[in-house]
Amino acid sequence: MRAAMELADEGGIGSVTMRELGRRLGVEAASLYNHVAGKDDLLAGMADLAAAEIDLPSGDVDWKEAMRRRAISARAVFLQHRWAAALMDSRVWSGPYSLIYADRVLGTLIRAGFSPVIASWAFIALDSYIYGFERQRSNFSPSEDVDTIEVAQDVLSAIPEGAFSSLAAVAMEYADKPYDEDGAFEFGLDMILDSLERRLGAD
């Protein structure tokens, strides 16, 4: 599984084939079927190992900080493994690490006072944001070498003078300073966590 993850890190998830993995491991592709049922099983294992790299909520902080740390850790994993967010988001979590991860997140929310139903909704809301942010980031910044200042300047130059004033105002903000991706992520994350905190108080 680790070799498959390394292969995906280097060439994207599309580069992971049984033949290529066998070549990397120095074995015939057919021999890999002694360890996995097929490619789908391989991808499930990769998703499970990626989940294992996300920090689990711990009891040394309150639920809100635990969820915040968990979300930031997940984003760090997705930045390291660019393929992981889409793969994990598209699969039913059934591997051992994934089940431990889900149980710990839900348990933290339930112990904080959320009902099991609201805890599951909170989990879905948080993960939808985490995965969605990564998908959007990948769409707008497919390469680490993207210069956000240059992109903003290009957008600004494409806007006719006097038109699209709101878009122009935002582009002007980023035309002379880098886009704060971490700040943008944590802004949205805190909005969700603050809303959940208010819901908990109301319940």
Identify the three-state secondary structure at position 188.
helix
Task: Assess whether pLDDT exceeds 70 at residue 140.
Answer: no
Report whether 112 contacts 200 (CB < 8 A): yes
The alpha carbon of residue 188 and the mean position of all alpha carbons in its chain are separated, in whole angstroms, by 14
Q: Give per-residue pLDDT as tens, 12-35.
A: 899 998 999 988 899 888 888 888
Non-local CB neighbours of 5 within 8 Å, separated by 6+ positions? 46, 49, 50, 81
The overall average pLDDT reported for the chain is 88
φ/ψ region of 38 (left if φ > 0, alpha if ψ in -120 to 50, else beta) reads: left
- Band (142; pLDDT cuts 50, 70, 90): very low
Residue in 153, 147, 187, 145 with CA at minimum distance from that of residue 173: 153
Query: How high is the pLDDT of residue 146?
Result: 58
Residue 203 has pLDDT above 70, yes or no: no
Delineate the domains of the chain, giving CATH numbers in brackets.
36-202 (1.10.357.10)
Q: What is the DSSP letter of 15?
A: G
Cβ-contact 114, 122 below 8 angstroms: yes
Phi/psi for 114 (5° steps) reads -75, 145
Q: What's the whole-number mean pLDDT along residues 106-130?
A: 96
CB 88 within 8 A of CB 47: yes
Retrieve residue 185's tokens: 């992520």
Question: How far does CA 94 lie from the centroid of its chain?
Answer: 18
Q: Can you read off the two tokens belonging to residue 89?
A: 């988001």
